Amino acid sequence: MHLRLDVDVQKLETEKLIKGKNKVEEDLDSLKTDYKNLRLPMKTTGLEKTLKQWH
């Protein structure tokens, strides 16, 4: 009986981790999209050169 409960708990924890991982991947994709959308205006306004000075 205890073994079955342990397995159920591990399954729930695994599901939580997978959902969290999926959320992180979605957030990363969103950030990449935002970054790409910001790069073009930076190039056209010349801000890209000044940003490279900070790296």
How does pLDDT run across 3-17, given as a tens digit for each residue?
888 999 999 999 999
What are the contacts of 45-48 at 24+ separation with CB within 8 A? none
Structural domain tally of the chain?
1
DSSP 53: T
Over the stretch 1-50, which tens digit does the pLDDT of each residue have? 678 889 999 999 999 999 999 999 999 999 999 999 988 887 777 766 66
Domain that holds residue 27: 2-54
